[in-house]
């Protein structure tokens, strides 16, 4: 069973209480369960993590690159300004799908720019928790295409 990291940046641990009109009422534990169940159904093992610390996220991205581990990444606010996260993603050795619960392009102007999109395999945004399901499906397909 192939491993995949599902990495989440700042404030995503507050799902359910943080702006439910934007991010929904389900909490991070529900997202974790959905990712693990979806991954299992696809023949993957999902390691789901969340941090509010940029340095910790960087170490996880380095771990994924060193281990050739695919990643589903919601960089959250780091999407828009963290060149350190962008540079860590550029070192990837397996597919990396950028995900967002909301559609950043339909929100405030400062959210329109992603500094990480250009080094990700692809981006899925605006589908709530379904964004993660779609990203895990994409990872499974990409791994199957590459024979992994």
Task: State yes or no: 2 annotated in a binding site.
Answer: no
Residue 87 in marked binding region: yes
The strand pairing partners of 97, in sequence order, are 72, 122
Is 12 flagged in the annotation as binding? no
If we measure between CA atoms, which residue out of 105, 79, 84, 92 comes closest to residue 8? 79
Question: Which residues are registered as beta bridge partners of 46?
Answer: 4
Q: Which residues are catalytic?
A: 23, 100
Structure tokens at 94: 């397996």
Tell me if 59 is assigned to a ligand binding site.
no
CA angle 79, 129, 107 (to 5 degrees): 45
**74 annotated as belonging to a binding site for a ligand:** yes
The answer to whether 11 is a known ligand-binding residue is no
Binding residues are 74, 80, 87, 101-102, 111
Binding residues for substrate are 74, 80, 87, 101-102, 111
């Amino acid at each position: 069973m192939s491993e995949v990291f599902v990495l989440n940046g700042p404030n995503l641990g507050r799902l359910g209480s943080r702006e439910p009109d934007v991010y929904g009422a389900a909490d991070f534990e529900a997202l974790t369960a959905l990712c693990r169940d979806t991954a299992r159904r696809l023949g993957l093992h999902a390691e789901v993590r969340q941090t509010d610390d940029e340095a910790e996220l960087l170490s996880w991205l380095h771990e994924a690159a060193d281990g050739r581990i695919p990643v589903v990444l919601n960089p959250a606010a780091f999407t828009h300004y963290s060149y350190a996260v962008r540079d860590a993603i550029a070192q990837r050795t397996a597919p990396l799908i950028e995900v967002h619960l909301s559609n950043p392009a339909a929100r405030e102007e400062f959210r329109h720019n992603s500094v990480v999109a250009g080094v990700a395999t692809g981006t899925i945004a605006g589908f709530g928790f379904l964004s993660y399901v779609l990203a895990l499906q994409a990872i499974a397909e990409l791994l199957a295409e590459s024979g992994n």
